Amino acid sequence: MSEKATFAAGCFWGVEDTFLTLPGVVSTRVGYTGGRTEHPTYQEVCAHDSGHAEAVEVTYDPATLPYQKLLNVFWECHDPTQLNRQGPDIGDQYRSAIFYHSEEQRLLAQEARDRLELSGRLRRRIVTQIVPAAVFWEAEAYHQKYHQKHGGGCGF
């Protein structure tokens, strides 16, 4: 039986590309979540009026791919110490966030964050939000599997 995990870690194109290649991932889709606007468009999200983050919803097989492995990939795929930016992308839609779907995911995410914080590997404090999953609004079709269609990859 598959489960869902939702992550925001900057531009959703590269983040999706990173998760899509993992054995045990059933599917991915990019979209918007964590805000207040219903049925947001890319333009609304980029205008900073919606409150949404660009995010990736990962459907995975936990028997093959444990949630902890997804968390490890999340922490490595971006800089969780940057507030509202990743690389050249700036804005609240590029914030770092874990949208948990269960109490177990919340606990595992908090434990992973705390371990990374205490490890000394990062020079600044982690600003990643760990918040309940909200409605996930699928992004426009041209955003789905963008790097597979156009080339590119996660730049971090």
3-state secondary structure of 4: strand
**pLDDT tens digits, one per residue of 53-76:** 999 999 999 999 999 999 999 999
Asked about 77 being catalytic, the answer comes back as no
pTM for the model stands at 0.93
Domain with residues 3-140, CATH architecture: 2-Layer Sandwich (3.30)
Beta strand ranges found along 10-128 (DSSP E): 25-33, 53-60, 85-86, 89-90, 96-100
Six token digits for residue 11: 């531009």
pLDDT of residue 153: 52
pLDDT of residue 111: 98
**pLDDT tens digits, one per residue of 102-153:** 999 999 999 999 999 999 999 999 999 999 999 999 999 888 987 778 776 5
Selecting among 11, 46, 77, 154, the annotated active-site residue is 11
> Taking Cα atoms as reference points, which of 17, 20, 7, 27 lies closest to residue 150?
17
Six token digits for residue 76: 């490595």
Domain ranges in the chain are 3-140
Half-sphere exposure of 141 (CA within 13 A, CB side): 0
